[in-house]
């Protein structure tokens, strides 16, 4: 594994500053039933890092105090966390929106037979990874059999009401490029996804999010080993669009790692880049001073060009610069 952090330092990325905090993105741990090539957190079945119940309660207390409107749950596979259902139930009871970043295949694992029903009962928004609508490409990127299991999971979610036009249950899919290229136009790709999945498998969904691959961790290491890291970073810089800056998700979001430490975004977390507003390198959720975040600078490096290139990229897909 190659460390890409030094290659991303000394960036000329423009200065950006925080808006009011609205979203907490929580990495519940690195345990996952898959080991995807493009994974920027190096998650997998043998990882043991998991957020503690104490930290979860501290997050819920902060969400209540700060009137946070959304908890965005990531991993690994966040559903594999033993306190996942407790976290979701407590947040939903408090009226907080919950997003589950789901790899779909977890819904078909024998140890989680009631998971899909639970998500529907709690009205959790599902953002599901499906990097292509063709089996060969998905299995190449995410592992043999993943495409088939993903389709089965999507059909299960559709039966529960997810993605249906008359339902409040939101089902959004995520596309990642197969290689070191920018995502294609999100709108056109969404139409292609909808047509193919509906005609071939009877599957419906709400929206497609086209997300750029970030040059960090597993994907960045692969680029370094192939001698393509600099060319990909140059590609991102060449397609920088300033109009995307106003819509970056880091402006109203903080990322919390499995130990409860806070970062400006999920990618910064993976690079161990300190919160720019912090008085010390690793502030903990239990000691976060919300006044510190007001209009505070956001820590940036060269990987931030991945969010601002072309149509822009965030955990919610393309930005307004498209």
- Cβ–Cβ < 8 Å for 171, 102: no
- Provide the pLDDT for residue 322: 45
Q: How many domains in the chain?
A: 1
The backbone torsions φ and ψ at residue 6, rounded to the nearest 5 degrees and listed phi first, read: -60, -30
- Cβ–Cβ < 8 Å for 142, 114: no
Q: Give the pLDDT confidence of 179-233 residue by residue, as tens digits.
A: 899 999 999 999 999 999 999 999 999 999 999 988 887 788 889 999 999 999 9
What residues make up the domain containing 127?
5-308
Q: Is residue 317 part of a domain?
A: no
Q: Give the pLDDT confidence of 257-292 residue by residue, as tens digits.
A: 999 999 999 999 989 998 988 777 778 999 888 888
Q: Which residues of the chain have pLDDT under 50?
A: 321-322
- Cβ–Cβ < 8 Å for 51, 28: yes
What count of other Cβ atoms lies within 10 Å of the Cβ of residue 17?
12
What count of other Cβ atoms lies within 10 Å of the Cβ of residue 167?
16
Burial profile 73-83: b = 16 or more Cβ within 10 angstroms, e = fewer: bbbbbbbbbeb
- Provide the pLDDT for residue 179: 87
Q: Is residue 316 part of a domain?
A: no
Q: Is residue 320 part of a domain?
A: no
- Provide the pLDDT for residue 44: 83
Beta strands in the chain (DSSP E): 23-27, 70-74, 97-102, 125-129, 171-175, 207-210, 253-256, 262-263
Q: Is residue 265 part of a domain?
A: yes
Q: Give DSSP secondary structure letters for 189-243.
A: HHHHHHHHHHHHH----SEEEE-PPPSSHHHHHHHHHTT-HHHHHHHHHHTB-GG
CATH of the domain at 43: 3.20.20.70
Q: Is residue 188 part of a domain?
A: yes
Q: Is residue 322 part of a domain?
A: no
pTM as predicted: 0.92
């Amino acid at each position: 594994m190659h460390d890409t952090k030094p290659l991303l330092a000394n960036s000329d990325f423009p200065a950006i500053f925080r808006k009011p905090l609205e979203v907490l993105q929580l990495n519940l741990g690195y345990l996952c039933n898959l080991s995807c090539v493009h994974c920027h957190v190096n998650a997998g079945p043998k990882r043991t890092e998991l957020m503690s119940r104490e930290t979860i309660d501290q997050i819920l207390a902060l969400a209540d105090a700060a009137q946070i409107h959304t908890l965005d749950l990531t991993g690994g596979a966040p559903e594999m966390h033993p306190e996942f259902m407790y976290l979701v139930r407590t947040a939903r009871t408090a009226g907080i929106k919950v997003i589950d970043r789901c790899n779909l295949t977890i819904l078909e694992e024998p140890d989680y037979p009631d998971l899909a029903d639970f998500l529907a009962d709690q009205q959790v928004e599902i953002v599901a990874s499906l990097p292509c609508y063709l089996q060969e490409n998905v299995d190449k990127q995410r592992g043999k059999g993943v495409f088939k299991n993903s389709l089965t999971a999507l059909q299960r979610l559709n039966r529960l009401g997810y993605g249906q036009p008359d339902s409040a249950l939101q089902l959004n899919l995520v596309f990642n490029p197969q290689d070191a290229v920018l995502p294609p136009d999100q709108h056109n790709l969404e139409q292609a996804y909808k047509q193919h999945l509906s005609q071939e498998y009877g599957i419906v969904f709400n929206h497609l999010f086209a997300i750029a691959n970030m040059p960090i961790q597993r994907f960045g290491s692969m680029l370094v080993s192939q001698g393509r890291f600099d060319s990909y970073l140059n590609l991102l810089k060449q397609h920088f669009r300033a109009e995307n800056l106003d819509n970056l998700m880091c402006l109203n979001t903080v990322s919390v790692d499995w130990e409860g430490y806070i970062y400006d975004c999920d990618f910064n977390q993976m690079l161990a880049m300190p919160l720019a507003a912090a008085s010390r390198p690793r502030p903990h959720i239990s000691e976060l001073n919300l006044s510190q975040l007001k209009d505070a600078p956001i820590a940036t490096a060269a990987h931030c060009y991945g969010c601002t290139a072309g149509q822009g990229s965030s955990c919610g897909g393309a930005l307004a610069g498209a």
